[in-house]
Amino acid sequence: MQSFRTELENPIVEKDIIDLERKIRAFREGKIHDEKFRSLRLARGVYGQRQPGVQMVRIKLPFGKVTFKQLLRIADVSDEYGSGNLHLTTRQDIQIHYVSLDRTPQLWEELQRDDVTIREACGNTVRNVTSSPDAGINPNELFDVSPYAHAFFVYFLRNPICQEMGRKIKFSFSSDERDTAYSYIHDLGFIPKINEQGERGFKVLLGGGLGAQPFLAELVHEFLHEDQIIPYAEAMLRVFDRYGERTNRNKARLKYLVQKLGLDEVLRLIEEERVAIKSKSFKIDRDTVAQPQIPALLDYPVLDEVINSLDYKHWRATNVIAQKQTGFYGVYIKVSKGDIETALARELVAAISPFAADEIRITQNQGLLLKFVHEGALPSLYVNLKELGFAKPGFDSIADVTTCPGTDTCNLGISNSMSLSVALEEVIYEEYPELIYDKDIKIKISGCMNSCGQHGLAHIGFHGSSVKANGKVVPAVQVMLGGGTVGDGAGRVAERVIKAPSKRATDVLRTLLDDFATKSGEGESFHQYYDRNGKDYFYQLLKPLADLSNLKDEEFVDWGHEETFATAIGVGECAGVVIDLVATLLLESEEKLGWAKASFEAEAWADAIYHTYAVFVGAAKALLLDKGVNSSTQIGVIREFDKNYVETGEFAIDGSFNDLVLQINKNEPTAAFATAYLAAVEDFYRTIQAKREGQL
C-alpha cells in the first residue's frame, strides 16, 4: 500500500488517520498480530464483513444528526470506496460496505473534510450516543436533550478511560417519558426531568442490554442534576474498565458485572471513583447544538388534487408530526431495509432542501426525520418524496419493520433478515392496510440472536436460526413475543416462543394478527393480550407452522437466495478480541507510556494518570503470562501480580502492587499525583524490561 499524508485542519484527526495507515502497513508486514490488529481497526470504525477481503466502515453520527452536505459527502465516499449504498442503523449511524482495508485511511480523510468521523464507531469503546430523533422539536419534551448527547460524544471520544474496555458501552437520551431512545436496554439511559427547584436533570438507568441474553436496566437515580451526568458516566466507565470481564466476551458487558457483583456493590465502586475523576461537575453547553436555519417561506403551489388524494391523507396522518415550534412540521421518511443507494441519496437531498431545514436525523427504526417544514410546503414535499419512492405511509407502525443486515454482510448472520423484512411489510400493506395506523405494535428482525435488529424489544420479533429436517439444514426464525417499551424507563424483553422455518414467517405474522384481531378485548393492547393468554397459548397457536414433516422444496432456500441453505457463521467482531501475547502487551505498554508522558507534558493530569494506570496493568499482565497466569479482569491482574511476584519476593515493591496501582482512585487528579504516579510506573516498567531481557 502507498503511504499518504493528510491535509486536514484538525491535527488530532490527522494524527489518528496517519496512525491508522501506519498500523495497516505494520499489519501487512507481519509486525502486528492479526487478533491485535482487529481490535485496533475496530476502534477506528473498520469492521470485517462476511465476504473475505473487504470491510464495513461505520460512520459515527452523534444522535443521528447529519447535514445535507455531510450526507452528500458520505454518498461520494461510498461511491469512491464502497458499494454505492448507505445503510442506516438502529444506533443512528450510517454504514458503508465492501471497502478495501488499505483504503480506509483515505476514506476517513475524505469524511473528515465535512466533520464526519469513524473513530470509536466499533470496538471496545463508547459507541454512538443515541437520542430520540425528535429531540428539539418534540412538543412534549421538557428540554432538548441534543446538547447533552453531543456533550457525551465529545467528552468520551478519545478519552483514555474508554479506549480498550472489555466490551462496548452504549448511552442513550430520550426526549420524554415515551422513552423512544430505549433507556431500559442501555448501559446508561437518560430521561429528562425537572426538579422542584426548576433545575434540569435526568432519570438514570444502568446496566441494560440486548444481545443473546437481554437485561433490563436498573433505576439508579430518579433525578441526577445535569451537571453530574458526565461525572457519573466517567466514574461508571472507570469501574467497568477495572472490574469488567475481558476474556469471555459473552460475559463482558456491564450488565454481567452488575449480575456478578450486585447492583449495590457496583454503585459503591462508582461512588469510590468519584474522588479521582477528571470532572467533579461538568456544565453542559446548552447552545452547542443550534437549531438549523429555517427554510425560507415560499409561495407554494396549491395542489388540491394531491391534498385530496387518499395516499396523501394516509401519508400526512402517519408520517407528519406537528413540532413544538408553531407552524412547523417534522416529516418522517420510511426507508426500506434502512438502505439508500447513493444516487438516490443525492436526489433526496435535492428534493427536500427547498422545503426542510438543513438537518436530518436518522431514526432508531432506520428511517429519516426532516425538520421545520412549513405547512404549506407539505404537498410539494410529498410530491417530491413520492417520485423517489420515499412517501410510503406507516412510519414507525407495524408496517415499518426494523432489520439488521443479517447474512447480506454480517459474519454472525445465520439466516436472511433484510429480504424477510420486505416480505413482512408486503403482508401488512397488501393484506392489513389499515394497520399502517397502528404504531403500538413493533416488528423487529435480527439475523442472529445478538439483537442488532433489536428483536429483543419487539412486540413481534424474529431472529435468524436453523433447524434440521430430512438430513438437511433449514433456514429458520426464532419467534419472540411480548417485548417493547412501557415508558419512563420501563420496558419488556420479548420471550422465545417457538422456532419455525423462515419461509413461514409471513404465516406466523398472519396467524398472530388474525388472532389478535378476533381474540383481543376492546381497547386491549398487544402486551395485555399476550399476558392474558400466556406463552404456552402462543406456542400452541404457532405449533402447526413449526411442523417439519411437510416441508416444501422452497423452504430449504432462504429469503433472497436461490441456493439451498447452509449455515456459514464467521467470527463476530462487535467487541474485538483480547490478545495475550507477552511481547505485544509490552509493546502496548511502551506506547501507552509515551501517551502518559505526552499528556503529562500537556498538563492533562487526569489523562496522564489513566494512561499510567494502563501501563501498570498491561505490563503486569505481560509478566504474569510468563508464568501462565491469565486473569480476565484488570483488578484480577493487580491481585495476581501481588500473589505471584510481590509476595514471593520475585519483584520488589515497597508495599503491595495493589496499593501502588490503586492510588488511582484514592487521589485527586493533580499535578503532584500525576508526577509521582508517572515516576512510579517508569521505575516499574524499567524493572520489567530488565527482567524480560534477562529471560530472553
Q: For 124-166, give the secondary structure using H, E and C.
A: CCECCCEECCCCCCCCCCCCCCHHHHHHHHHHHCCCHHHCCCC
Whole-angstrom distance, CA of residue 674 vs CA of residue 681: 11
Burial (CB < 10 A; 0-12, 13-18, 19+), residue 535, is: middle
In the structure grid, which three cell numbers stand for residue 303, read together?
395542489
Residue 144 and residue 254 share a domain: yes
Whole-angstrom distance, CA of residue 235 vs CA of residue 244: 14
SS3 252: coil
Domain assignment of residue 362, yes or no: yes
Whole-angstrom distance, CA of residue 285 vs CA of residue 374: 29
Element (H, E) at 434: none
216 vs 6 pLDDT, higher one: 216
Closest CA to 620 of 548, 541, 529, 691: 691
Residue 506 CB neighbour total at 10 angstroms: 16
pLDDT of residue 591: 87
Instruction: Note the pLDDT tens digit of each residue in 638-660.
Output: 999 999 999 999 999 989 999 99
Residue 601 has pLDDT above 70, yes or no: yes
Instruction: Note the pLDDT tens digit of each residue in 549-558.
Output: 999 999 998 8
Domain assignment of residue 287, yes or no: no
Residue 568 has pLDDT above 90, yes or no: no
The last residue of one of the domains, among 387, 420, 452, is 387
Closest CA to 513 of 642, 399, 358: 399
pLDDT of residue 580: 38
Residue 94 and residue 142 share a domain: no
- Name the average pLDDT for the chain: 92
Residue 582 has pLDDT above 80, yes or no: no
Helix (H) and strand (E) counts for the chain?
A: 21, 22
The single residue listed with the C-alpha cell 465476504 is: 51
- pTM of this structure: 0.93
Number of domains observed in the structure of the chain:
5
The single residue listed with the C-alpha cell 453530574 is: 228
Please, which pLDDT band fits residue 579 given cuts at 50, 70 and 90?
very low
pLDDT of residue 6: 52
Which distant-in-sequence residues (6+ apart) come within 8 Å of 501 by Cβ? 467, 474, 475, 476, 477, 545, 546, 548, 551, 555
Q: Are 517 and 463 in contact (CB under 8 A)?
A: no
Please, which pLDDT band fits residue 609 given cuts at 50, 70 and 90?
very high
Residue 414 and residue 531 share a domain: yes
Residue 171 has pLDDT above 80, yes or no: yes
564 vs 317 pLDDT, higher one: 317
pLDDT of residue 387: 98
pLDDT of residue 162: 94
Residue 447 and residue 586 share a domain: no
pLDDT of residue 2: 47
Give the mean model confidence (pLDDT) for residues 201-225: 96
pLDDT of residue 563: 67
In the structure grid, which three cell numbers stand for residue 104, read together?
480506509
Residue 165 and residue 57 share a domain: no
Residue 363 and residue 309 share a domain: yes
Q: Are 149 and 136 in contact (CB under 8 A)?
A: no
Instruction: Note the pLDDT tens digit of each residue in 72-102.
Output: 999 999 999 999 999 999 999 999 999 999 9
Which distant-in-sequence residues (6+ apart) come within 8 Å of 361 by Cβ? 63, 64, 65, 66, 92, 133, 134, 135, 368, 369, 371
Residue 1 has pLDDT above 90, yes or no: no
pLDDT of residue 8: 60
Instruction: Note the pLDDT tens digit of each residue in 261-296.
Output: 999 999 999 999 999 999 999 999 999 999 898 999
Q: Are 577 and 613 in contact (CB under 8 A)?
A: no
Q: In 482-534, where does DSSP find H-type helix? A: 505-519, 526-533
Residue 566 has pLDDT above 70, yes or no: no
pLDDT of residue 405: 83
In the structure grid, which three cell numbers stand for residue 572, read together?
463476530
Q: State the number of CA atoms in the 13 A half-sphere of 176 facing the CB.
A: 11
In the structure grid, which three cell numbers stand for residue 448, read together?
442472529
pLDDT of residue 25: 87
Tell me the percentage of the chain whose pLDDT exceeds 70. 95
pLDDT of residue 341: 98
Residue 523 and residue 406 share a domain: yes
CATH number at residue 142: 3.30.413.10
Q: Are 601 and 593 in contact (CB under 8 A)?
A: no
CATH number at residue 326: 3.90.480.20
pLDDT of residue 694: 67
Residue 245 and residue 136 share a domain: yes
CATH number at residue 619: 1.20.120.330
Residue 577 has pLDDT above 60, yes or no: no
Residue 523 and residue 408 share a domain: yes
The last residue of one of the domains, among 273, 293, 317, is 273
Provide the b/e sequence for 445-481 (b: ≥16 CB within 10 Å). Answer: bbbbbbbbbbbbbbbbbbbbbbbebeeeebbbbbbbb
Give the mean model confidence (pLDDT) for residues 666-675: 97
Domain assignment of residue 278, yes or no: no
> What are the φ/ψ torsions at residue 637 (nearest 5 degrees)?
-60, -45
Residue 515 and residue 637 share a domain: no
Closest CA to 319 of 424, 397, 421, 434: 397
Conformational region of residue 203, where left means phi above 0, alpha means psi within -120 to 50, and beta covers everything else: beta
Domain assignment of residue 368, yes or no: yes
Terminal-to-terminal C-alpha distance of the chain? 34
Say how far residue 68 (Cα) sits from the centre of its chain: 23
Q: Are 145 and 133 in contact (CB under 8 A)?
A: no
Q: Are 236 and 206 in contact (CB under 8 A)?
A: yes
Which distant-in-sequence residues (6+ apart) come within 8 Å of 7 by Cβ? none
The last residue of one of the domains, among 364, 387, 410, is 387
Q: What is the CA radius of gyration of the chain?
A: 26
Instruction: Note the pLDDT tens digit of each residue in 367-417.
Output: 999 999 999 999 999 999 999 999 999 999 999 999 988 777 776 778 788
Which of 370-374, 471-475, 562-566 reaches the highest mean pLDDT?
A: 370-374
Domain assignment of residue 123, yes or no: no
Q: Locate the DSSP E strands across 503-651.
A: none
Domain assignment of residue 290, yes or no: no
Tell me the percentage of the chain whose pLDDT exceeds 90. 78
Give the mean model confidence (pLDDT) for residues 423-443: 97
Please, which pLDDT band fits residue 210 given cuts at 50, 70 and 90?
very high
Instruction: Note the pLDDT tens digit of each residue in 625-643.
Output: 888 899 999 999 999 999 9
Domain assignment of residue 397, yes or no: no
Instruction: Note the pLDDT tens digit of each residue in 105-159.
Output: 999 999 999 999 999 998 899 999 999 999 999 999 999 999 999 999 999 999 9
pLDDT of residue 217: 98
pLDDT of residue 578: 37
SS3 446: strand
Residue 576 has pLDDT above 50, yes or no: no
Residue 453 and residue 484 share a domain: yes
Give the mean model confidence (pLDDT) for residues 241-262: 95
32 vs 581 pLDDT, higher one: 32
Whole-angstrom distance, CA of residue 595 vs CA of residue 607: 9
Q: How many residues does the chain have?
A: 696
Domain assignment of residue 291, yes or no: no
Domain hosting 595: range is 582-695
Whole-angstrom distance, CA of residue 228 vs CA of residue 223: 10
pLDDT of residue 53: 83
Residue 545 and residue 684 share a domain: no
Residue 515 has pLDDT above 50, yes or no: yes
- Amino acid at site 189: G
Q: Are 167 and 252 in contact (CB under 8 A)?
A: yes
